[in-house]
Amino acid sequence: MNTPDFNASCPLPIQQYPHVLMAHGGGGKLMHQLLENVFGKAFSNPILDTRHDSAQFSVPPGKLAMTTDSYVVRPIFFPGGDIGSMAIHGTVNDLAMSGARPLYLSCGFIIEEGLPMETLWRVVCSMRDAAQRCGVQIVTGDTKVVDRGKGDSLYINTTGIGVIEHSLNIAPQSVQPGDAVIVSGDLGRHGMAIMAVREGLQFESTIESDSAPVHEPVRALNEAGVEIHCLRDLTRGGLASALNEIAEAAGVKIAIEQKAVPVYEDVHAACEMLGLDPLHVANEGRFVAFVAAKDAERAVQILRGHEVSADSAIIGKVVEIAAPLVTLRSAIGASRILDMPSGEQLPRIC
């Protein structure tokens, strides 16, 4: 991934306001300066630049998809990304899971008093660059400043709107017996990247988050006429939670082959050290696809043509209509139930 350019200094007068003050959320001159010189300068586009209470825009014909999410990751900078780029990627990816083309985003910022202004500017620039790469516009937003010690630096909420330009019903209810189960890439890197920084763990190589947008490979599948039945991004709870949620919603049994699931060796070693299952660990640039068996091999070849999904693989299939169940066959041939994690193993991961 390209590293965002943070060379340009924050446009606010840093010597006078090196940190965010409560007054920056108070509705007066300092708040106006923050909105105009930081957010307005970074996110400028014709819709946002009207400075109205609501954004007005046109959308192409088709159904609309809408999603919202909040980001509270700690630390806010980590190998392979930061809270800003992840907020853009996560919202774009949620839209992509219905096969939607992402168009517009809103962003809400909860800023802790005392946050260095340069830190805020770095996050905002990262969001700007990620939005440009994803081809989306940030068209409206909000800021709030909370007391020192009440906000842990910065929280971000995003809402996204996209247009669905296909006739498929991409949803768990469309899953059928015989469907191939495909993952778009290696698993577990995001969670392990966060934990390594948070806990000060040292590995032979730096584990980088997989945070990235996935709408382009999804669009390629649609344009190629692949019969997609369901898509789900693999965030909190990882692959295990996603498969169990889909099995329950669709009323099916899913069987997975462990040796087919791509996990990098350093991630596997880090998970073993921490007593974690990589299938339970969060990702921020991976999804699982349920596609008709006749299109499975073609779908994998299409996905492998994109950098973000170059390690995609068929990992199993939908066995039958049955009581919801996900099974995993190990490398030695033993089968076990792959259940959801019982609790939140990795808090503040996204």
Is residue 197 within 8 A of residue 137, CB to CB? The reply is no
| Nearest residue to 243 via CA among 286, 202, 292, 279 | 279
Q: What is the pLDDT of residue 201?
A: 81
CA distance readout (Å), 338 to 7, 241, 324: 46, 9, 11
Q: How far apart are CA 270 and CA 292, in angstroms?
A: 35
Q: What is the pLDDT of residue 3?
A: 46
Q: What is the pLDDT of residue 297?
A: 98
Q: For residue 226, how many other CB atoms are within 10 A of its CB?
A: 20
Q: How far apart are CA 90 and CA 234, in angstroms?
A: 10
Q: Please name each of the domains of the chain with its CATH number.
A: 22-164 (3.30.1330.10), 172-337 (3.90.650.10)
pTM: 0.93
Instruction: Tell me the Cα Rg of the chain.
Output: 21
Q: pLDDT under 50 in the chain at which residues?
A: 1-4, 6-7
Q: What is the pLDDT of residue 15?
A: 58
The torsion angle over the Cα atoms of residues 231, 237, 240 and 241, rounded to 10 degrees, is -60
